[in-house]
Amino acid sequence: MTDNRKTNIAARFDAAHEYEQAAAIQKQCAQMLAERIRQRHATQSPCRILEFGCGTGLLSRDLVSAFPDAEFHLTDIAPAMLERTRQHLAPLPATVHLYVMDGENPQPQGRPDDGFDLITSSLCLQWFEDRAKAFHRLTSLLRPGGWLMVSTLLKGSLHEWQESCEAAAIPCGVPDYPSPMHLQEDWPPGGSGIWETHSLHDPAPSARHFLKGLRMIGASLPRRDHRPATDLRRAIRHFDRHFDHVTYQAAFGFFQKGH
């Protein structure tokens, strides 16, 4: 991903002051991922945890509560998002460290010599340009037997808006999300991983409500090759006639590094 595109991503999330008001799907995915992390570590709590793309701390808060004795490295590419996480976790436990980091090219501060027990993230991977390389870099930071546990979006997400744009014969900025097969192929060697998938529905009483929600959560940056449409009205009318929600296809991935 180019530095310019990453700068644009960070700027949009920095400006997402109303993120948590519109982040219903993000909250749901964070809760689902946190539950799976707790189940996976029910008999042995992780001691050192790295989260990339922590946003406002939707997942972070749950994990800090679930594993109060762990050392946390909570990171995001957007500085303002980190400040919102800091506010939500205040007073900040001494074992929680927050700093700016690009999850696709991770360079954690004070990395443990023997690696992290858990590296996690909820709904950040869809912004990566090369997941396979990112997975290789991230899993290299795990201790033997450690876990990478993440969620991301799948092909078919936001298909209601895609269909509306197609009906209006205008370009659609929805990214090309991967299929479960492609995600499975992206796992690195040196361990084993699986994915589970879920369909989530977000109420959208109108297309304008849906588009405003994307802007509120900082997720309005279109795909790289997108050319903005000059007239969205036909797509908006089609959506409003046919849909009252948008669908998110969510994937939850669990990779354990070999011993």
- Reported as a single tens digit per residue, the pLDDT across 119-169 is 999 999 999 999 999 999 999 999 999 999 999 999 999 999 999 999 999
Rounded average pLDDT over 86-94: 90
Residue 80 sits at the vertex; the CA angle it makes with 140 and 57, to the nearest 5 degrees, is: 60
Residue 93 gets which letter from DSSP?
Answer: P
Say whether the peptide bond before residue 205 is cis (omega within 30 degrees of 0): no
Closest by CA position to 250, among listed 174, 183, 199: 199
165 in any annotated domain: no
Q: What is the pLDDT of residues 115-131, one digit of tens each?
A: 999 999 999 999 999 99
53 in any annotated domain: yes
Buried b / exposed e across 222-237, counting CB within 10 Å, b at 16+?
eeeeeeebeebeebbe
| Burial degree of 148 (CB within 10 A; 0-12, 13-18, 19+) | buried
Q: Give the domain CATH number at 188.
A: 3.40.50.150
162 in any annotated domain: no
Average pLDDT of the chain, as a whole number: 94
Under a CB-based contact definition with an 8 Å cutoff, are residues 59 and 124 in contact? no
Q: Which stretches does DSSP call E strand in the chain?
A: 48-51, 71-76, 96-100, 116-122, 142-153, 191-203, 245-257
Q: How far apart are CA 190 and CA 192, in angstroms?
A: 7
Closest by CA position to 6, among listed 195, 158, 134, 142: 134
- Structurally, the chain folds into a number of domains equal to 1
120 in any annotated domain: yes
Residue 2 has pLDDT above 60, yes or no: no
Rounded average pLDDT over 178-192: 97
68 in any annotated domain: yes
Give pLDDT, residue 1: 47
- Listing DSSP states for 172-238 in one string gives -----PPPHHHHHHHSPSSEEEEEEEEEEEEE-SSHHHHHHHHHHTT--PPPTT----S--HHHHHH
Buried b / exposed e across 41-66, counting CB within 10 Å, b at 16+?
beeeebbbbbbbbbbbbbbbbbbbee
- The percent of residues above 90 in pLDDT, for the chain, comes to 83
Q: What is the pLDDT of residues 43-88, one digit of tens each?
A: 999 999 999 999 999 999 999 999 999 999 999 999 999 999 999 9
Q: What is the signed CA dihedral for 108, 188, 77, 160, rounded to 10 degrees?
A: -160
Tokens of 223: 């795909």
Residue 25 gets which letter from DSSP?
Answer: H
Give pLDDT, residue 24: 95
Residue 40 has pLDDT above 90, yes or no: yes
Rounded average pLDDT over 86-103: 93
19 in any annotated domain: yes
Tokens of 99: 């700093």
Q: How far apart are CA 127 and CA 124, in angstroms?
A: 6
215 in any annotated domain: no
Give pLDDT, residue 231: 81
Q: Predicted confidence band at 229 (pLDDT cuts at 50, 70, 90)?
A: low
Q: How far apart are CA 214 and CA 202, in angstroms?
A: 12
- For CA atoms 54, 55, 59, 62, the dihedral sign is positive
222 in any annotated domain: no
- Find the domain containing 33 and state its range: 3-155+178-197+250-257
